[in-house]
Amino acid sequence: MPQDARQTPQTGIIIDQIEEILIANLDALSESQVLTIPIRCRRTGKVQLIRFPSSRNNETKKFAALLQILHLSHEALVAGTVITKRAIYYQNPELFGSQQYVNELVDDIAFTFGLGRDALNIVAASKGLIAGAMSVTIGSSSVFDCNSDDSATFRGLVASRFHETATAGPGVLITAKGYPDLSTRQFLHKLHVASPTLPMYGLVDFDPDGVRIMLTYKNGSRSLQHEENVTLSQLVWIGLRSNDVLEHHKKGPQSAHTNQTHNSSRIPSSQSASFHSGASPCRTRAFSPVEVMLPLKAADRRLALRTLSAAVGKDHQVAESLDLIHELQVMLLLNTKTEIQAVDEAGDLTTWLDYALTSRMNRQ
Amino acid sequence: MSKQYLTTHTVDNAHITDIFSIAAAPNALLSASGSSTIHVHASNQPDSPLIQSLTGAHKLGCHHIAVSRNGKVAASVGFGGDVKIWKVSESGSGEWEPFGELDAGKASEKGRGGAGELWAIALSEDGQFLASTTYDGRINVWDLFGDRGATLREYETGTAGSGSFGLCVDLSRDGKYTASGHQSGAVYVFNNDTGRLQYSLPGLVKPVRTVAFSPAGTRLAAAGDSGIIAIYDTKHGEHVGNLTGHNAWITSLDWSDTGEYLLSGAFDGKAKVWSVERSACVATHSETDKALWAVRWLPKTVRNEMFCTAGANRSLTFYREATGA
């Protein structure tokens, strides 16, 4: 990575801001005053002073951790390099205790400065995976995010070379292995800016976390609203949808496989016609992407309910949020969640994906 | 020997989203959907016009609605766990008006607050008693005319707070029994007089999404993801037969007034009428290939037997028995 690229017009301002904090603390030290770092709370937006010394143990620890992160960020900014959150953690694992703790503080600092995290020259540990020939694909085909909690779906799709062989045309496969990190989202956003007509599709499990992952790609995350240029409003939720779950079980349990084979070999023209006229694709979907079905746990229901509440709360009732509301309501009614099927030798998932993607593209 | 039913009319787009539940009073059909509004259609008039909208009833949408057989009391449950009670106005206008709520969260007993959130409901013939299920498998019976802050009966179906999700519930017409169907496939019958479990019935292995007592209370029908309708004898708790023929999850069951026929609806959009005595399907209808969430017979008036189906196509479809059959 060219190091110069890491120095932006903001860089000088942040270096100043960090140095201001450090100088204020040096002054305080020389006057035997209490040391403080101001941090703005991401929930309330209020500034809070983190003190040293403090009677509260965790405040002392927080002060030390913040100081170290500011120091490392300052070093990276001045040198024009970047540092990963993972590297920060390993500077002093005993102090930080967990990676999560580092992540939280880094986001706190970025929020306090009113900037994106990468303005601190701090990046996430490499997490996302990508497969596909970028130079070929931009401007001509599609991007496809798949996010099952384990990355088995992604590996299966790559192994079957879906990014090259898809009926819908070559594309790029991307996974962030669960909830997407900032770098993956920034990357996708940049891709979108560079090529606005490039369609992007999201494939997630049919469960509350899957929906949240999809929404995080699309709208950003609630706790990182200060980050800019990380949303993908055009992302299409290709699956898994309640229809996929219901379709899976419309067929008799014994005859399921033979039925599926029949359906895929020839799709009656009357059905595809009704599909193009905007009817539900439910009937014409061949193969099932559904792997296992499990009842929702209490925590799943709570998360689904929170997501539903937030979706209903939005004053603009656009078709897209009505769709989201519907999917969450049906999930709660069915009290069932499903994971994406792994790609097996029969290639069921790729067949289904081919079908779902081409149908979707024809409709647009 | 099949029976013939004709589609009399369809109220298209009766709701703006999926219709999840319907309830039939003598002259009115109440419907609940993913939107916040409950609709009342005049089922005794041609074309069943919309006669009342209960707006803002459930902010997050409404998944269950029930009405008492006498048509005087209704209850509805929202996705937020909110339970509202409704009654027909005493002014004689026939309009439905709010009749308070059921604060299940507050009333949850033994310190297990929050988990007392209600899911499915059923009302007794006169609307005095309401039976409900919870996420964690508890079944409660409430006195809507008495103290709504406490349950009349509380039945556990598992170790405290960890029973299987109660997907459906019904009360026998005489109010003596409560039946519940669960995610685990279990079906239970409770005796409301003694407050005890009467029978734990041999279940269906897969989730049970609907249970219904026959009008005389001698039979219980249960169905769900197994695609089979199981019939039980409530006197001895025996499994007396299965009705097979649906190829999809069954969402809804309703007995005809005489107890001769069962109406069922499934996720593939098919509604079926079964002769219980002959264990045979006598009619199959599919106006839609979208999921049916609810099917109900209309209380018999002067005309022929009628029923209504509703679901993901957002419409109410009315059927009547062909004359001369």
Instruction: Identify the contact set of chain A against chain B, taking CB-CB distances under 8 A.
Output: 246, 249-252, 280, 282-283, 295, 298, 301, 305, 308-309, 312, 322, 325-326, 329-330, 332-333, 335-336
pLDDT of residue B100: 94
Q: Which residue numbers in chain A have pLDDT < 50?
A: 1-5, 135-140, 251-286
Same domain, yes or no: A115 and A204: no
**A106 and A159 together in one domain:** no
Instruction: Verify that A171 and A272 share a domain, yes or no.
Output: yes
The reply to whether residue A308 touches residue B17, judged by beta carbons under 8 angstroms, is no
Cα–chain-centroid distance for residue B117? 18
The residue out of A93, A123, A153 marking a domain boundary is A123
- State the total domains in chain B: 1
- Do residues B223 and B208 make contact, with C-beta atoms less than 8 angstroms apart? yes
Residue A200 domain-assigned (yes or no): yes
Within this chain, do residues A109 and A142 fall inside the same structural domain, yes or no?
no
B34 vs A283, A309, A329: nearest CB? A329
pLDDT band at B179 (very low <50, low <70, confident <90, very high): very high
The burial of A4, by beta-carbon neighbours within 10 Å (0-12 exposed, 13-18 middle, 19 or more buried), is given as exposed
Residue A190 shares a structural domain with residue A243:
yes
For residues A151 and A91, membership in a common domain is answered with no
pLDDT digits (tens, 9 = 90+) for B28-67: 999 999 999 999 999 988 899 999 999 999 999 999 999 9
**pLDDT score of A147:** 58
Count Cα atoms within 13 angstroms, Cβ side, for B14.
Answer: 35
User: Helices A319-334 and A208-219: crossing angle, nearest 10°?
Assistant: 160
Locate A175 and state its tokens: 């996974």
Q: Are residues A211 and A316 in the same domain?
A: yes
The torsion angle over the Cα atoms of residues A167, A168, A173 and A177, rounded to 10 degrees, is -90
Instruction: Judge: A329–B289 Cβ closer than 8 Å, yes or no.
Output: no
Which residue, among A145, A154, A77, has the nearest Cα to A110 in the 3D structure?
A77
Range of the domain at A61: 11-123
Q: Assign residue B115 a region (left: φ > 0; alpha: ψ between -120 and 50; beta: otherwise).
A: alpha
Select from B242, B181, B246 the least CA-distant residue to B207: B181
First and final C-alpha spacing in chain A = 38
Per CB-CB distance under 8 Å, the chain B contacts of A270 are: none
Q: Indicate the range of A109-118, B88-97, B231-240 predicted with least confidence.
A: A109-118
Query: B289 vs A230, which has greater pLDDT?
Result: B289
Separation of alpha carbons B75 and B102, rounded Å: 9
* Closest CA relative to residue A120, chosen from A128, A130, A112: A112
| Contact present, A208 and A180 (Cβ < 8 Å) | no
Q: Which domain holds residue B123?
A: 5-321
Establish if A4 belongs to a structural domain: no
Let me know whether A34 and A182 are in one domain.
Answer: no
Give the CATH number of the domain where residue A149 resides: 3.40.1360.10
Distance CA B6, CA A288 (A): 35
On whether residue A263 sits in a domain, the answer given is yes
Nearest chain B residue to A248, by CA = B248
ipTM > 0.90, yes or no:
yes
| Percent of chain B topping pLDDT 90 | 75
Does residue A1 lie in a domain region? no
SS3 state at A121: coil
Instruction: Say if pTM beats, i.e. exceeds, 0.80.
Output: no
Q: What is the pLDDT of residue A229?
A: 73
Average pLDDT of chain B, as a whole number = 90
Which residue among B16, B165, B247 places its CB closest to the CB of A250? B247
Q: Could you tell me if residue A176 is inside a domain?
A: yes
Is there a domain that residue A5 lies in? no
A279 and A160, same structural domain? yes
Q: Rg for chain A (alpha carbons), in Å?
A: 24
Q: What is the pLDDT of residue A151?
A: 62
| Locus of tokens 């999700």 | B165
Residues A170 and A54 in one domain: no
A83 shares a domain with A222: no
Q: Closest partner residue to B60 among A280, A312, A322, by Cβ? A: A312
Query: B38-47: per-residue pLDDT in tens?
Result: 999 999 888 9
- CATH code: domain of residue B82: 2.130.10.10
Q: Last residue of a domain, which of A106, A123, A140? A: A123
The verdict on a CB contact (< 8 Å) between B20 and A308 is no
User: Which residues on chain A are in Cβ contact (under 8 Å) with B227?
Assistant: 252
Render pLDDT for B184-201 as a digit per residue (tens, 0 to 9).
Answer: 999 999 999 999 999 998
Contact of B263 with B271, CB cutoff 8 Å: yes
Q: Count structural domains, chain A.
A: 2
Residues of B in contact with A326 (CB under 8 A): 17-18, 34
Mutate to test the interface with B, among A242, A333, A336, A338 (most CBs of B within 10 A): A333
Q: Do both A147 and A228 map to the same domain?
A: yes
Mind telling me how many Å the CA of B47 is from chain A's nearest CA? Answer: 25
Asked if the model's pLDDT at residue B111 lies above 60, the reply is no
Active site residue ranges of A: 90
Question: How near does any CA of chain A get to the CA of B98, in Å?
Answer: 23
* pLDDT exceeds cutoff 70 at B9: yes
Is residue A350 situated within a structural domain?
Answer: yes
**pLDDT of A249:** 59
- Show which of A80, A95, A123 is a domain's final residue: A123
